Amino acid sequence: MVENVKAEISDSSNRAGEMYGWYEGMEWNPVEKVILERRSVRKYKDEQVPEKLVRRILEAGRFAPSAGNSQPWRFVVVRDGKMLEEMERYVRLRCRILKFLLDWEGGPLGRLAWLNSQLCIRLMPNELHPIPYGAIRLIAEGKLKLFHGAPTVILILMDRRGVGKPMVDVGICGQNMVLAAHSLGLGTCWVGFVELLNFGTKWKKKLGVKWPYRLMEGIALGYPVGQPDGMIARELHEIDWWEEGRKRTVF
Ligand SMILES: Cc1cc2nc3c(=O)[nH]c(=O)nc-3n(C[C@H](O)[C@H](O)[C@H](O)COP(=O)(O)O)c2cc1C
């Protein structure tokens, strides 16, 4: 897939290839291929991932860089189907509550929901951006699964005492695992909504989430159904490039 896109660009115009930083005859190395071809997988085979592979993926996470080498993470692996279902049910319930409180368009609270949403959007502009809010609605309505049927889930707990910006460290750590999984022929999907489990005393206890830890992210892991991987469009952001006292813009 990457080859196709690359060929398309360099065939159609060398200038376009240059614009992307690609050049004629260039080969993607295995690391670049993994980075460019990984996609989120939302359909998994009913087949467990061998423990050995999960351990390798966790090792990739453990070796992630972090500010001051503070390694502000802890992992919890869940491979118990019943437990995953219960976690999913709990998150769906939380999403239903959020939808009830905030759904000003069709919900029963009407104007009160509109006022709630205005307040919450100001307090949590990122969490309640239309994309996550849309997903909250879909989860609440049972139209979007939390773990997408993956047989293994890696939960990442963040140590809030991490040096500087532990959220960044946790993101890097997770991406190391996601890329390692892809390189091993596995599919993954980040699951940000596991954060809602932090509201459940039972779940916090069961998953060992206590100060200084907070459950930040989940990574669904399994064998993908079909062939979801391949390069997709990304926004082309302008890059300011300073060299020898001059600035130019590249993409
Ligand atoms: C921090 C983070 C949280 C995410 N949470 C979810 C989630 O809860 N559910 C989901 O289906 N996808 C989730 N995603 C996947 C994104 O939707 C996906 O990465 C994005 O649409 C780009 O698609 P790609 O991963 O196939 O390149 C998350 C991704 C990240 C990085």
DSSP 224: B
Is the same domain home to 95 and 165?
A: yes
- State the Cα–Cα distance between residues 10 and 238, nearest whole angstrom: 20
C-alpha 188 – ligand 1 centre gap (Å) = 10
Q: In this structure, are residues 170 and 158 in contact, taking their beta carbons and an 8 Å threshold? A: yes
Give the pair of three-digit tokens for residue 114. 């509109």
Q: Is residue 45 part of a domain?
A: no
Residue by residue, what is the 3-state secondary structure of 184-200? CCCEEEEEHHHHHHHHC
Mean of pLDDT over the chain: 90
pLDDT for the residue numbered 78: 98
Q: Which atom of ligand 1 is nearest to the CA of 39?
A: 26
Is the same domain home to 176 and 245?
A: no
Does position 221 have pLDDT exceeding 90, yes or no? yes
Query: Given pLDDT bands bounded at 50, 70 and 90, which one contains residue 13?
Result: very low
For ligand 1, atom 25, the nearest C-alpha belongs to: 40
Q: In this structure, are residues 159 and 166 in contact, taking their beta carbons and an 8 Å threshold? A: yes
- State the Cα–Cα distance between residues 23 and 7, nearest whole angstrom: 10
Q: Is residue 129 part of a domain?
A: yes
Give the model confidence (pLDDT) of 66-108 as tens digits: 999 999 999 999 999 999 999 999 999 999 999 888 888 878 8
Total domain count, the chain = 2
Does position 133 have pLDDT exceeding 60, yes or no? yes
- State the Cα–Cα distance between residues 90 and 84, nearest whole angstrom: 10
Is the same domain home to 120 and 211?
A: yes
Does position 169 have pLDDT exceeding 90, yes or no? yes
Q: Which residues line ligand 1 (CB under 6 A)?
A: 39-40, 42, 189-193, 217
Give the model confidence (pLDDT) of 30-52 as tens digits: 999 999 999 999 999 999 999 99
Is the same domain home to 157 and 244?
A: no
| Greater pLDDT, 129 or 209 | 209
Is the same domain home to 22 and 90?
A: no
Query: Given pLDDT bands bounded at 50, 70 and 90, which one contains residue 17?
Result: low
Is the same domain home to 142 and 236?
A: no
Pairing state of beta strands 73-78 and 213-222?
A: unpaired
C-alpha 139 – ligand 1 centre gap (Å) = 14
Q: In this structure, are residues 186 and 56 in contact, taking their beta carbons and an 8 Å threshold? A: no
Does position 16 have pLDDT exceeding 80, yes or no? no
Give the model confidence (pLDDT) of 139-166 as tens digits: 999 999 999 999 999 999 999 999 999 9
- Smallest CA-to-CA distance from 199 within 112, 124, 87 is with 87
Is the same domain home to 245 and 128?
A: no
Average pLDDT over residues 237-243: 95
What range does the domain containing 22 cover? 2-38+230-250
The percent of residues above 90 in pLDDT, for the chain, comes to 69
Indicate the range of 108-112, 183-187, 190-194 predicted with least confidence. Answer: 108-112
- Smallest CA-to-CA distance from 96 within 144, 148, 163 is with 144
